[in-house]
Copies of this chain bind each other. A is one copy, B any other.
Amino acid sequence: MDQTFSISDLAREFDVTPRTIRHYEAEGLIAPARDGQRRIYSGRDRVRLALVLRGKRLGFSLAEAKEIIDLYSAPQGEAFQLRTLLEKLDEKREILEDKRRDLDAAISNMDKYAARCRDRLAELEERPETAAEAAE
């Protein structure tokens, strides 16, 4: 379970360049161990990279992604820490749910439009001559 990865291992797996991964490190999103100069990525580092990339796909900036991901490694020793962590999680959750509302709307919107297109196409294929009348 303590498998490690080189920078190009991860670059290949996630289809990004090593430069990108180093950039994320410079921005504080990943902090791999070192063997001399060489970066050595743990399984946990790999997960963090996956989270960053997913965040990006969902439209988060690197800074926003960091805010969210850092919650997953926040200290939970005291009850106070746990409570403020739960508050922050809830805050981020709302942002994610806003996005889901947007996304659902976009998809159902597109579905309805596609359905109308299919209807129209069916009309055209049944009665090509009276195509224009289908609009009524």
- A97: B residues at CB distance < 8 A: 107
Contact A72 B113 (CB under 8 A): yes
Contact A110 B82 (CB under 8 A): no
Contact A117 B76 (CB under 8 A): yes
Contact B113 A89 (CB under 8 A): yes
The stretch of A14-22, A26-34, A36-44, A51-59 in contact with B is: A51-59
Contact residue among B96, B98, B107, B118 (Cβ-Cβ distance under 8 Å from A110): B96
Q: Which residues in A have some Cβ–Cβ distance to B below 8 Å?
A: 54-60, 71-72, 76, 78-79, 82-83, 85-86, 89-90, 92-93, 96-100, 102-107, 110-111, 113-114, 117-118, 120-121, 124-125, 128
